[in-house]
Chains A and B, each alone.
Chain A
Amino acid sequence: MNGKVHVMRKLLENFTSRKREYGLALLEISLSILLSLTITAGIMILMGYPSELSLAAYTVIFAKGFDNASYLFSRASPLILTALAFLYPALTGMFNIGGEGQLYVGAIASLVTALYTGSSLLALIAGGLAGAALGMVLALLRVYRNVNEVVAAIMINWALFNISMFVIATYLTDPSIPHLTKQVPDSAKLPVVDLGIIRLNTSFLVALASAIGGAYLFYRTKLGFAMRVSGLNPNASLIAGFENKKLMLTSFALGGGMAGLGGSILVLGIVHRLDTMMMSLYGYGFLGIGASLLGRNNPVGVVVSSIFLSGLLIGGQWIETRLGLPHQVADLIIGIIVISLAIPFAYHYMKTFFRVRRK
């Protein structure tokens, strides 16, 4: 009990002593959202839509995007995980752009495991491990062959996109519906928990647990501390007796694992089958980078930002049916928010990133 009070006090102290920082972050986020809404409205007007329509569009986006919590949370779950896939290596000072490819690999590994074993737990583990293995490949290339992880990840993403399509189309399609894969057996589907006020998809719980677990790992354990130190100051990390190479490998495997898990829950908990064009998978990995930046590279922030972005996406689909506006309006809003947020943040981030690396 005493321990809990102590932790709470420390958290509070932590918060009050950084009040200014948190305040500034909040201000920046609000400003960029506002800016983005303004610019998007401007673009819509330029494209010839009546000006009151943009206001109506925002009303629909925010009203419809956030009104069904069950759907919102389940849509956000894979995004939370791909955002964590970017976040964990970033805390160790590296860029994981490979979330997209790791997501594909995780999804396919899960689907195959689910089809053969019918066990959701095994399928989750397989998905996570497949993503982690792919992340590890990127990290090994970086650590031992000094291959830039960003370049390698971009190339591997595209290679995997096409390989995955090939695998799905060739080996996994359902003979009766040739453009879809076989369905995940019922025994391997992630259940939906009915809590009365909200029907919570288990995938959301998996994502939430991953974020909380990550926060605990990075801020309460030696391993996580070592990873953060090695990202911020590799020299200090050596003096403390940490091994930078191992830490880089660990964080990349962890990140890859998150994206793989994202693919898993998408298959097991939400779509239950993949299509040959991979429409249901495509984009989550890339959007995760934006969600991570919007969440200020903080595990808890990432959960909030992923839910927010998912709400915008859902709302975007509604404006199409309600107002006849293109759903790309939502993409536009998200894009501009991410850009306006990312510019100052990415600037500081890259500055330290390259300063560290140059040594």
Chain B
Amino acid sequence: MVKEPLVRLENISKIYPDGVKALDNVSLEVYPGEILGLLGENGAGKTTLMRILYGEIKPSSGKIYIRNREVVFHGPWDALKHGIRMIYQHFSLIDEFTVIENMHLFMSTINRKVTIDETRRKAEELLKTLGFQIPLDEPVGRLPIGVQQKVEIVKSLVTGAEVLILDEPTSVLNPIEIEELFRLIRTLREKHVSIIFISHKLREIKELTNRVVVLRKGRIAGEAETANIDESTLAKMMIGEELHMLNQAGKTSVNNRSKEILVLENVQVKGDKEQSTLKGISLKIHCGEVVGVVGIQGNGQKELAEAIIGLRKPIKGRILFEDEDITGLSVEERLKKGISFIPESRKIGLVGEMDVSANVLLTNHVFLTNRFGIIMTRELENLSVKVMKDYEVLAASPRVLVKHLSGGNQQKIMTGRELVKNPKLLIAMEPTQGLDVKSAQQIRQLLLDHRSKGGAVLLISSDLEELLLLSDRLVVMFNGRITAEGTPNEFTVEKIGLCMGGSC
């Protein structure tokens, strides 16, 4: 069966002004009514390619054809006219507006004359054929993320989307919401909408798509009918080299007699939301142990970490560090005692406008200032050089501003500056977020090495594989409580999924 492609990208290349080659001669076809998987690591060029198709970025060379006719996009408005819609990880919705107002806003950019009643009629009609409901008069900000995403999708369909690009749509969803999303995507396929599904999760690609294109370092690394290819082949295409295994030396089952370094006793902390308020957490962490915290974001993981480092004061309960009550101590005093923290985002942990050495100083100032509060510049210089060398931060000198470094190098600074002081307890939140596979493995190895040196690690991550790989013990958090606890072997993926969803 030879079908005419709906969209054809031909020999697309993109070279950024700083000389980075994001895409190199990439060609791609999208057929009507198919689900095309676009697989690749972070930085492989998936998003860049799709932003070119969406008209947001101009390609350095190459052509775009729609129904075999060449088009030139000057901006997303041109792409919209041709039925192309893109949905980002961060939704383009206005929280204060109701669902229908958001839809109307979007519709009126395409057709100025449309009234809000017409929008409503169309939306209701569409929802009926899709077979689900969205509260149209609710402000978007009050809806769960999964529903907000549906609003985005419906918003695109109402305006007659023919090609729908979904950029890592599952990264913000819980397992149940993911199932629902997949069901919706399959329904759309039946309605002859072409879907481009961007992901780096093999299982999702395998489960959902008809055809998959793999990108690696800006080039096409492979293309196949999904049914004819297995996950391990896809993984090899994506990574290009065998995943080198972590050195698991020292990973043993928990020795109950090893020393407790941190004890939480019925800790209650006010959270950002009701769901993330800690409602009595009791937890023990031992020396030489990695404790992994599993859970969907916003179930109290952040509050837990911030309570331990001292950013949030518990309403009730005690925190003991090396048998000493530290509940009332300030962040600085806790840093001095050897508690160390890698926050969940580089935006929070780093000062982009400052150089590498100032960012090293940031969490090490208690060790790098004398008793008059004067910075010991030579020690700082040495430590900065050491962090850069030991943790392979690629920067010309410690004087380089952090905002000029890549995400991976920034993350290495954030991890390195904590590990370099050999903390007794390290709280690591999302330590490999946004990193390519190699850098992520490096950082995981560093955490394991730290553990085998006797350090304790509390690892909070949304990457389940990472948690299973690194943790000696797992705790599952749901709704501000610990709902399950055990070694990774005691858990199956299904069981973890259930506990994360609150049904265990």
Contact A7:B377 (CB < 8 A) given known A229-B362, A241-B331:
yes
B375 within 8 A of A: yes
Give the residues in chain B near A226, CB-CB below 8 Å. 365
**A232 is an interface residue with CB less than 8 A from chain B:** yes
Query: Are the CB atoms of A236 and B349 closer together than 8 Å?
Result: yes
A355 CB to nearest chain B CB (Å): 11
Tell me whether A176 is interfacial, beta carbon within 8 Å. Answer: no
| A222 pairs with B397, CB closer than 8 A | no
The total of chain A residues at the interface (CB under 8 A) is: 26
Q: Which residues of A206-246 have CB atoms within 8 Å of chain B's CB atoms? A: 220-223, 225-226, 228-229, 232-233, 235-236, 238-242
Any A CB within 8 A of the CB of B138: no
Chain B, 356-374, CB within 8 A of any chain A CB: 358, 361-363, 365-366, 369, 373-374
Q: Please give the distance in Å from B423's CB to the nearest CB on chain A.
A: 14
| Residues of chain B whose beta carbon lies under 8 Å from any beta carbon of chain A | 309-311, 330-335, 341, 343, 347-354, 358, 361-363, 365-366, 369, 373-375, 377-378, 381, 396-397, 399-400
When the two chains form their complex, are residues B375 and A236 in contact, meaning their CB atoms are under 8 A apart? no
In the complex the two chains form, what is the Cα distance from A225 to B358 in whole Å? 8
Cβ of A10 within 8 Å of any chain B Cβ, yes or no, is: yes
Distance in Å from the Cβ of A242 to the closest Cβ of chain B?
8
Question: A221 contacts B397, CB within 8 Å?
Answer: no
Contacts A10-B377, A221-B373 hold; do A236 and B348 have CB atoms under 8 A apart? yes
Report the bound CA distance from A6 to B378 in whole Å.
8
Does A146 reach chain B (CB closer than 8 Å)? no
Does A14 interact with chain B (Cβ within 8 Å)? yes
B331 in complex: contacting residue of A228, A233, A239, CB < 8 Å: A239
The minimal Cβ–Cβ distance linking A348 to chain B, given in whole angstroms, is 10
A235 with B348: CB separation less than 8 A: yes
State A352–B351 Cα separation when bound (angstroms).
12
Say which residue of A10, A223, A225, A352 sits within 8 Å of B361 (CB atoms). Answer: A225
A321 within 8 A of B: no
CA distance A117 to B351 in the complex (A): 48
5 further A-B pairs in the complex, CB-CB below 8 A; given A221-B374, A236-B362, A238-B311: A6-B378, A220-B375, A235-B343, A235-B347, A242-B332
Chain A: CB-nearest residue to B396: A17
Complex contact B354–A3 (CB within 8 A): no
Q: A13-B397, A229-B354 are in contact. Are A240 and B363 (CB under 8 A)?
A: yes
B350 close to A240 (CB less than 8 A)? no
Residues of B within 8 Å of A242, CB to CB, are: 332
Cβ of A18 under 8 Å from chain B: yes
Among residues of A, the one whose C-beta sits closest to the C-beta of B359 is A236
Q: What are the residues of chain A within 8 A of B381 when measuring CB–CB?
A: 10
- Smallest CB-CB A-B distances: 3 pairs: A241-B332, A241-B331, A17-B399
List residues of chain B with CB within 8 A of the CB of A238. 311, 331
Pair B365/A13 contact, Cβ less than 8 Å = no
In the bound complex, what is the Cα–Cα distance between A241 and B309 (angstroms)? Answer: 9
B373 touching A222, Cβ below 8 Å: yes
Residues of the B chain whose Cβ atoms lie less than 8 Å from the Cβ of A222:
365, 369, 373-375
A232:B375 contact, CB within 8 angstroms: no
How distant is the Cα of A238 from the Cα of B335 in the complex, in angstroms?
A: 12
Q: Which residues of A contact B363 (CB under 8 A)?
A: 239-240
Query: Is the Cβ of A229 less than 8 Å from the Cβ of B351?
Result: yes
List B contacts of A221 (CB < 8 A).
369, 373-375
Whether the pair A239, B375 counts as a contact (CB closer than 8 A) is no
Report the minimum CB–CB distance from A69 to chain B (whole Å). Answer: 34
Distance in angstroms from B92 CB to nearest chain A CB is: 18
A290 to B358, CA, bound (A): 29
Report the bound CA distance from A13 to B353 in whole Å. 18
Question: What B residues does A232 contact at CB under 8 A?
Answer: 351-354
A14 CA to B349 CA in the complex, in Å?
23
* A220 touching B377, Cβ below 8 Å: yes
Say yes or no: A239 contacts B369, CB within 8 Å: no
How distant is A16 from chain B, measured CB to nearest CB, in Å? 9
Q: How far is the CB of B399 from chain A (nearest CB, A)?
A: 4
CB-CB < 8 A to B333: which residues of A?
A: 241
Q: Which residues of B contact A7 (CB under 8 A)?
A: 377
A228 to B332, CA, bound (A): 17
Complex contacts, A14 vs chain B, CB 8 Å? 399
Give the chain B neighbours of A352 by CB distance below 8 A: 353
A220 CA / B330 CA spacing, docked (Å): 24
A18-B399, A238-B311, A239-B341 as given contacts; A223 in contact with B347, CB under 8 Å: no
0/1 string, A1-33, CB within 8 A of B gives 1: 001001100100110011000000000000000
**Inter-chain contacts of A223 with B (CB < 8 A):** 373
Q: In whole Å, how far is A218's beta carbon from the nearest beta carbon of chain B? A: 11
With both beta carbons as reference points, the residue of chain A lying nearest to B350 in the complex is identified as: A236
Nearest CB on B from A311, distance (A): 32
Q: A133 CB to closest chain B CB, in angstroms?
A: 23
> Which residue from chain B places its CB closest to the CB of A226 in the assembled complex?
B365
Q: How far is the CA of A268 from the CA of B373 in the complex (A)?
A: 33
**Which of chain A's residues has its CB closest to B345's CB?**
A235
In the complex, A3 Cα to B378 Cα: how many Å?
8
A340 to B347, CA, bound (A): 32
Enumerate chain A residues within 8 angstroms of B397, measured Cβ to Cβ.
13, 17
Q: Determine if A241 and B335 form an interchain contact, defined as CB atoms under 8 angstroms apart.
A: yes
Residue of B nearest to A216 (CB): B374
**Which chain A residues lie closer than 8 Å to B375 at the CB level?**
220-222, 225
Select from chain B the residue with minimum beta-carbon distance to A2.
B378
**Are B365 and A240 in contact, CB atoms less than 8 angstroms apart?**
yes
List, in ascending order, chain A residues with CB within 8 A of B361's CB: 225
In the complex, chain B residues whose CB is within 8 Å of the CB of A235: 343, 347-348
**A53 → chain B, closest Cβ, in Å?**
46
CA distance A228 to B343 in the complex (A): 20
- Contacting residues, chain A, for B374 (C-beta < 8 A): 220-222
A240 and B353 alpha carbons, distance in the complex (Å): 16
5 residue pairs of the A-B complex, CB under 8 angstroms, read A221-B369, A222-B369, A225-B375, A233-B350, A236-B351
